Every structure is written in structure tokens, then in C-alpha cells.
Chain A
């Protein structure tokens, strides 16, 4: 076996992330306290640099490049998802800044762990061997466990961190066990090789391996039946952490799902399609139904995220029979993440020290207290409900079109029925904000928001509308990347 030097330029964004993260780490340790604010700016600079690097790759690499001993790939899917993840992480850090400063949550560490998880996600989406996927996944997960636990003052956060860690470790174990079984059958962990070797070899061991792998993936994605951690973690974590968990990692989880199921195991498609149908239906059902009963907005959005993951899976399972299934799912998950990030950001912006603004009742009469934020929340809620002209509708439209094309009309009807159930609790938020008066007089004064944050959240909210009015470009991008 001769040694070839890997093509380092292919991993340029990751290299930037890694080296800059080390610099941020050193800076945060050695800088005097009054200059610590620099950590935040360095972090954002890192993300901007990584974004630029990935963007240049998008132009430079029209064809997929596989390097690092065939364990690493740079294709349109990887690059587009990296671009999306960097943008969302950037937004997440902007929203987090005031919140964690006010509550004296260890600030430098938040950004550092954030950067490490961004690195983990980058590796995940570019991974082309099951072990690389696992490495990226673990880097992401470990950083996230620590981020949840960082809010030391809150018992809920500590509880959530322990739950998240124990369950997450179990899921990683399942995933790893599945990989080892696959390695046993095929003798390789590289995705393309597995796909070739397993071509006509539908045996019991492969099915068992598939079940283990899917379980691990579904856990990370947060879909039924491995969804139990989602509500607790979403509710318990500090809101910026929830925002972060709910945004970029979902895109990464989607990409590894495509890599593992679609690219590595196309021969087991009949099997995983059936599993995914079940998981998708259950997720949409339980997610939407349980969300109705919630009184805590973060918890409600957690259940709603389970439902939305269910919708995303519809795209993946329709993929083999429909030209647009995968790209519709990609469009769905990225726009959902945009909307979810906006919703959590509004919670974070409204929260004050000692007043978390995460109960549904806190939102009573928000229109009278801050009409613009209420309007942004309205757009985001209607987008989640899938009402045109917001982007949520076009996301659902793409999925339904894929389902109809794949002759799964019954599933499309079912998905829409669940969407109807879902609309109820999104509408309830709008109802509270617009139709009700504030609960108590002291809750009725105007809420001031710093202009910077107001501008960022406006970009986020208006994007939900603008992408709905003009979705063509982004749909095309998703098609090119996943197609």
C-alpha cells in the first residue's frame, strides 16, 4: 500500500475552523478580562472565513472530490449544507451574545464549544466513510452535551444535560454497532465500496445492521420512537443553546442520513423505506398531537420539531421513486431550520434576567407591547404551519409533489391531515399575541429591543416571507446539490 498525500485544500473550511478554534481558545485563556469580548468577534470571523472558503469551493469543485483515503468527500451537497450551517451558526451566536452575557453563563466556552460543534458538523457532511461520520458526530454531540450543561444555575439544564448525554451515548453505541456489522459483511467502511459490495446481498445481518444504524440516526435527528430527549433538552437548555441545537445540527443529521441510507445502502432501500414510513408517520402524529398539550413554548416547539423531522423523512423515503424527493427534503429541512431559529431567537430576545418568556401565557398581547416582534413571530408561525405565502408552504409543496409522484398519495393526504392538526397550535400562538390582552398590568409595558438584534431578527423573519415569494433560486440550489 503506497501512501498518497491527501488533498488538503479540499478540507480548507475545516482546517480554518480547527486552527481558528485553537486561536480563539488561546485568546480566551490569555487575554485580560476586559478584552474577552474579542472572543465573540473572533468566533464570528472564523465562521465568515469558513463560509468564504466553502463558497470558493463551490465554484472550484464542480465535480465531487474524494480524498483522505477515500474517507472524505467534497460535493455540492457537502458544500451547500456547510454554507447553510455556517450562516445559521453565525445567527445563533449573534442571538446568544446578550443572553449569555446577562446571565453570566461562561461566555468564552459557549463560543468555543459552538465552534467545535460546527467543526464536527462540517466533518459529518463531508464524511465519506462511516467512521468519519462517526468522528464528526461524536465531536458534535460531545460539544452539545457540554453546551447544555453549561447553564449551571438551572437544575432543568443539568437534568437535560444528563438525559441528553446518557441517551446520546447509547445512540452512538447503536450506530457504531451497526457500522461494525456492516464492516463484517462488506469488509469496508467506505460509503461507495459498501454500496457496491452490498448490491445484491439482502441478508439478515445487513438488515440488523440497518436497524441499528437507523436507530442511531433517528436518535440524533430526534424522531419518534427515539424522541424522548428532545422536549427535555429543548426546554431545559438556555434558549441560545436550544436555538443552536435546533438549527444547524438538523441539517447535518439530514446529510448523514442521505449519505448512509441513500449513498451507502441503496440496496436495502426496500427495507429502510418501510422503516422511514413508519417513523415519519409516528413522528408527525406524536409531534403534532403532543405539541397541542404544551404550555411551555420551548417544549411546544420541541414537539413541533419532531413533527417537522417526520415531514423531512417523507422526502427521503419518496426519493427513490421521485426525481425531487431528496432535494425537497433538503429544502424542507433548511427552511424549517431558518424558521425554528427565528422562533427561538424571539424567545431569547424577549427573555430578561429572571423572566424567561418561554410560557405561552407570556405571549399574551405581544402585539400591543412590540408589534414588530409579534409580526415576525406571526410570519414564523404561519411558515411552520405551512400557510402560503410563507416559505413553509413551498417546503410542504415540494414534499407532497414528491410523494404524489412516487405514488404515495395516501401518505401525502396523511401528511396534510397532520399539518392541519399542527396548524392549530401555531395559530394559538398568533391568537395569544394578537387577540388577547396581557395577562397582568405589569406585563403590559412596551418591550424594547436593541436595534441590532431587531435588525437581525427582521432579516430572519422577512426571509421566511421572501423565500416564500421567490423560492425558485433556493429550490434550484437544493436540486443541484442533492439531485
Chain B
């Protein structure tokens, strides 16, 4: 094979090497240098995504930009990287979010700047690694390894209750991953390889598939997070620094859904089919029940955290609605739309919730006691009109207003659900009401009305860097909301292929020509 430019490796390791360089700047005396290096590295990484996007062949479902080197001879583990349509989008999203976080933090973080930047750059590299890994051990290493910088960032720069939240976060996710490791080892013993793609279509009995399914489910359900394993998220979100919350909401939660797409569905299709109702039920609980919880929150970050759980419920609903559609109607097209909606919801949620977390961090920084309680604010729109306008946009995207990012995914999932199951679709559609009530009610109390806290009146509106951040995010929201075609193009073949692998053979009808292979 001809030598190929190791683009994916560069995307993974550039931030990590950058992190080491940032650490070398040492104490806060050189904070400016640390910030500069971090921003440069983040920009360079985002620029590297351009050749990634341009070079990606949208007509092929094969893994692209592959790299492969033998890593551990004894276990036949490879350092194997590659991207398909889903991962390529997630990699771009990761680097986009990484740049935002570094930019935003360069304004707000004053203490141990070098360590902060290093932690986030490392995290960014590792998350890219998760999306690119084609080898189960490599995947697991990145999957678990990124917990270390996240744990440190919550614990070191978080608010009052940070120690508790960080340990809870770490132990919860560590706990979830345990059984996944066993499942991967089981598959290794069946096949003699750690290559994830070799596991697809493995003739496993339903009994074995169920065990594997639950092992994977625990790992991914903690990350998504699905009810009732979501309790770490509000704690982690509230205590984390703004940058940490953004990474959590925009990227880390996506890993759970990504795991369903990469592992659960193609490896254990029979179990997915059998347990689809259970998964749909859990997703509906997340959407409705957790949505209700969000309404009564007094803490803004907690509110957005619960709303994240509800929105991710849409992604899991979209994933498993596929099986309900196939079982009842066998319609490939509807199943396809459901799955595509799930993936687009993943991407859309990153923009809306990420922006809102940034905004809350930005307001809290302007308040002397860094309060995140809704009642500490009121009338922020008077002192920060530009910020209020931006925040409105992201709030509406969170609600799912047509024309914003939040609408597309939810609409596709609900539409396809209506094809088979009226009540499931109706329940899911409740989110439009619930989402509007918690988001807009919060917006009203925080931004509108008279200024109740004297400190709020002295708030300065957002500065240049913050504006750049918000313009980027707003562009993302509109891009996904108004013109999602480039995204859909990248996804089309990959999702079609994934769908064929994920449904037991012979059940799908009217599969378009060219995909049946």
C-alpha cells in the first residue's frame, strides 16, 4: 500500500503534543504564551479538518483515511484508524468545539492556565481518537483515557462541590465501561481479532447477543446518559467549568450514541430487535420525564443538563425506532430517516446546548459570587442586548424551532415514528411543549423583566472574542437548520450501509438499488 499522509493521526496527536508544549510554559507567569499556543493548536487542528472533509468520498461506505500499524503483537491489536460518514462529521464537530472552548476559556480562566489548556487539548485529541478508532482496544483506550483530563478539569476548575461531582463522574463512567471491556474480550475470543469491523455480522445466538447487548448498553447508556443512569450528568455539568460543560454536552454525550451505532446495532442486531421496545420506552422516559424535571430546576446549568438528557433521548429513540419500523412495516426508507434524524440530532444538540453552557458560564463570571441560580438574574437583556439576542437564538434551537438546528433531527425522528406508532410519536412530540416551557421560561426569568439584582445592571456586553464564538455557533445552528444538505450527503451512504448491517437479514423491503450489496 502506498504511503498515505497520516491525517487522522495528526488530528489526534497534534492537540496532545500541543498540550505537552503548553504544559512546558509552566506557571501562570507565562499564561499569555500558554493561551497563544493553545489557540494556535486548536486553529491548526480545525484547518486540518478541511482536507479531511474535501478528501472524503461520500459515495463510499468504506472506512476512509485508513492507517494501520501492528500495536501489541501478543493480542494482534492494531493502531487502526479510519472514518466513515458519521465519524468524519463527529471529528469535525470535535475540533470545532475544541476551538470554541479554547477561545472561550482564554477569557475566563485565570488560574493554572497552562494546565487547563493542556487538559482540554488532550481531551480533544482523545475524543477524535474515539471517533477514528477501528480497533476495539484502541477505542477503549481513548474512551477511558479521556476520563482523566475530564476528571481533572471538573475537579480543578469547578465550583464548590467539584470533588464530589468529579469522582461521581469518573466512577459512573468507569463502572459503565467495565462490562463493555468484557464484551470486547468475549468477541476477541470468538474471532481472534480486535478489529471492530470483523464483529459485524457475526453469527451469534440471540442468547449471547442479549448478554453482549446489555454489556454495551451499560457503557453507552451511562454516557448518553439514559434514564435512570443520568444522575451523574447534572452534578458534573453544574460543577464543571464552562469549557468542561461544553465538552460534556457537545461531545461526550455523543459518544454514547456513537457507541450504539458502532457496536450495539451492527454487532447484536437480533438482541436490538428483541429489546427495541424496552429501549424505546427508556428513551421516552428520558424525553418526557426528564423534560418535566428540567422545568422545575432553579440552577440554569442543571436545567440545560436535564434538557440534554431529554434531547439525547431523541437520538436513542431514533436509533431503536428503526427496529420497530422494520418489524411493523419493513420500510427501509422510514427506518433510514429515523436513523438519520438520530445522527443529525446528535450534531444539532452540540451547537445549541454548547452555546447555552458557554453563555451561562459567561454570565456567572460577571457575577461576583459566580451564581448560576435563575433568581440571581433578571433583566440581563437590558445590560447585555447583543448577548441576549444570541442566547435567544440558541434557546429557540433548543426548543426545536423550524429553521434552527434543533428542528431537523427531532422532526425526522417524530415523522418516522408516526409511520408506525402513533402514541410513541405523540409522546415524543410532547418535547416540543416541554422544551419550549423550560427553555423559554428560563429565558424570561433571566433575560427579561426588570433588573432585580443591582450587579446585573453593571454587566458589560460580550466582547470581540465572545462575539466571534457566538457568531461561529450561530452559523452552525443556521447551517444545520436551513441547509443540512452537505451533512446529509456525507451521511447518506454510511447510514444506509449501517442500517443494512444493523437489521437482521431479509426483514427490510424496498431497499434502494446499490445498497443491497
Residues of A within 8 A of B162 (CB): 435
**A389 & B141 in contact (Cβ 8 Å cutoff):** yes
Chain B 178-224 interface residues, beta-carbon cutoff 8 Å to A:
178-179, 181-182, 185-186, 188-189
> Which among A387, A423, A430, A472 is the interface contact of B73 at CB below 8 angstroms?
A472
Cβ-based interface call for B170 (8 A): yes
> Which among B70, B71, B142, B188 is the interface contact of A401 at CB below 8 angstroms?
B188
**A475 & B156 in contact (Cβ 8 Å cutoff):** no
> Which among B137, B166, B170, B182 is the interface contact of A412 at CB below 8 angstroms?
B182
**B178 & A413 in contact (Cβ 8 Å cutoff):** yes
**A401 & B178 in contact (Cβ 8 Å cutoff):** no
Size category, A interface: 35 or more
Q: How far is the CA of A102 from the CA of B74 in the complex (A)?
A: 46
Cβ-based interface call for A434 (8 A): yes
**A423 & B174 in contact (Cβ 8 Å cutoff):** yes
Residues of B within 8 A of A393 (CB): 141, 144
Distance of B389 from chain A, by nearest CB (Å): 37
Q: How far is the CA of A400 from the CA of B174 in the complex (A)?
A: 16
Size category, B interface: 35 or more
- What residues of chain A have their CB less than 8 Å away from a CB belonging to chain B? 324, 327, 367, 371, 382, 387-389, 393-394, 397-398, 400-401, 404-405, 409, 412-413, 416-417, 419-420, 423-424, 427-428, 430-431, 434-436, 471-472, 475-476, 479
**B74 & A476 in contact (Cβ 8 Å cutoff):** yes
Cβ-based interface call for B148 (8 A): yes
Cβ-based interface call for B278 (8 A): no
Residues of A within 8 A of B115 (CB): 367, 371
Distance of B102 from chain A, by nearest CB (Å): 21
**B182 & A416 in contact (Cβ 8 Å cutoff):** yes
**A435 & B145 in contact (Cβ 8 Å cutoff):** no
**A412 & B72 in contact (Cβ 8 Å cutoff):** no
Q: Could you list 22 examples of A-B contacts with CB < 8 Å?
A: A371-B115, A387-B144, A387-B174, A397-B185, A398-B74, A404-B182, A405-B189, A416-B181, A416-B182, A420-B171, A420-B175, A423-B170, A423-B171, A424-B167, A427-B171, A430-B151, A430-B152, A431-B166, A434-B152, A435-B156, A475-B75, A476-B74
**B182 & A388 in contact (Cβ 8 Å cutoff):** no
Residues of A within 8 A of B179 (CB): 413, 416
Distance of B142 from chain A, by nearest CB (Å): 8
**B189 & A404 in contact (Cβ 8 Å cutoff):** yes
Q: How far is the CA of A430 from the CA of B151 in the complex (A)?
A: 10
Please encode chain B, from 369 to 403, with 1 for each CB lying within 8 Å of some chain A CB and 0 for all others. 00000000000000000000000000000000000
Given A394-B72, A423-B174, A435-B163, 10 other A-B contacts at CB below 8 A? A389-B145, A393-B144, A401-B185, A404-B188, A420-B171, A427-B167, A430-B155, A431-B166, A471-B72, A475-B73
Select from chain B the residue with minimum beta-carbon distance to A331.
Answer: B74
Residues of A within 8 A of B181 (CB): 397, 400, 416
Q: A416-B178, A424-B167 are in contact. Are A476 and B73 (CB under 8 A)?
A: yes
Distance of B396 from chain A, by nearest CB (Å): 37
Residues of A within 8 A of B73 (CB): 472, 475-476
Q: A388-B144, A412-B185, A420-B174 are in contact. Are A472 and B72 (CB under 8 A)?
A: yes
Q: How far is the CA of A435 from the CA of B182 in the complex (A)?
A: 32
Distance of B140 from chain A, by nearest CB (Å): 7
> Which among B74, B147, B152, B167 is the interface contact of A324 at CB below 8 angstroms?
B74
Distance of B30 from chain A, by nearest CB (Å): 13
Select from chain B the residue with minimum beta-carbon distance to A396.
Answer: B181
Distance of A103 from chain B, by nearest CB (Å): 32
Distance of A231 from chain B, by nearest CB (Å): 24
**B174 & A435 in contact (Cβ 8 Å cutoff):** no
**A472 & B74 in contact (Cβ 8 Å cutoff):** yes
**B148 & A387 in contact (Cβ 8 Å cutoff):** yes
**A434 & B178 in contact (Cβ 8 Å cutoff):** no
> Which among A327, A417, A476 is the interface contact of B178 at CB below 8 angstroms?
A417
Residues of A within 8 A of B186 (CB): 404, 409
Select from chain B the residue with minimum beta-carbon distance to A479.
Answer: B74
Most chain-B CB neighbours within 10 Å: which of A393, A436, A476? A393
Residues of B within 8 A of A430 (CB): 151-152, 155
Q: How far is the CA of A479 from the CA of B73 in the complex (A)?
A: 11
**B185 & A404 in contact (Cβ 8 Å cutoff):** yes
Residues of B within 8 A of A479 (CB): 74
Q: How far is the CA of A428 from the CA of B171 in the complex (A)?
A: 12
Residues of A within 8 A of B171 (CB): 420, 423-424, 427
Q: How far is the CA of A327 from the CA of B73 in the complex (A)?
A: 14
Residues of B within 8 A of A417 (CB): 178
> Which among B142, B156, B189 is the interface contact of A434 at CB below 8 angstroms?
B156
**A475 & B147 in contact (Cβ 8 Å cutoff):** no
Residues of A within 8 A of B152 (CB): 430, 434
Q: How far is the CA of A419 from the CA of B166 in the complex (A)?
A: 18
Q: How far is the CA of A367 from the CA of B112 in the complex (A)?
A: 10
* Top 6 A-B pairs, shortest CB-CB distance: A388-B141, A435-B155, A416-B178, A404-B185, A475-B74, A472-B72
Q: How far is the CA of A405 from the CA of B186 in the complex (A)?
A: 8
Q: How far is the CA of A400 from the CA of B136 in the complex (A)?
A: 15
**B182 & A413 in contact (Cβ 8 Å cutoff):** yes
Please encode chain B, from 426 to 463, with 1 for each CB lying within 8 Å of some chain A CB and 0 for all others. 00000000000000000000000000000000000000
Q: How far is the CA of A327 from the CA of B147 in the complex (A)?
A: 29
**A475 & B72 in contact (Cβ 8 Å cutoff):** yes
Q: How far is the CA of A367 from the CA of B152 in the complex (A)?
A: 12
Q: How far is the CA of A403 from the CA of B73 in the complex (A)?
A: 19
Select from chain B the residue with minimum beta-carbon distance to A417.
Answer: B178
**B71 & A472 in contact (Cβ 8 Å cutoff):** yes
Residues of B within 8 A of A475 (CB): 72-75
Residues of A within 8 A of B145 (CB): 387-389
Q: How far is the CA of A435 from the CA of B185 in the complex (A)?
A: 35
Most chain-B CB neighbours within 10 Å: which of A413, A419, A427? A427
Distance of A90 from chain B, by nearest CB (Å): 27
Q: How far is the CA of A428 from the CA of B151 in the complex (A)?
A: 12
Distance of A80 from chain B, by nearest CB (Å): 15
Select from chain A the residue with minimum beta-carbon distance to B178.
Answer: A416
Residues of B within 8 A of A416 (CB): 178-179, 181-182
Q: How far is the CA of A400 from the CA of B151 in the complex (A)?
A: 25
Please encode chain B, from 73 to 110, with 1 for each CB lying within 8 Å of some chain A CB and 0 for all others. 11100000000000000000000000000000000000
Residues of A within 8 A of B185 (CB): 397, 400-401, 404, 412
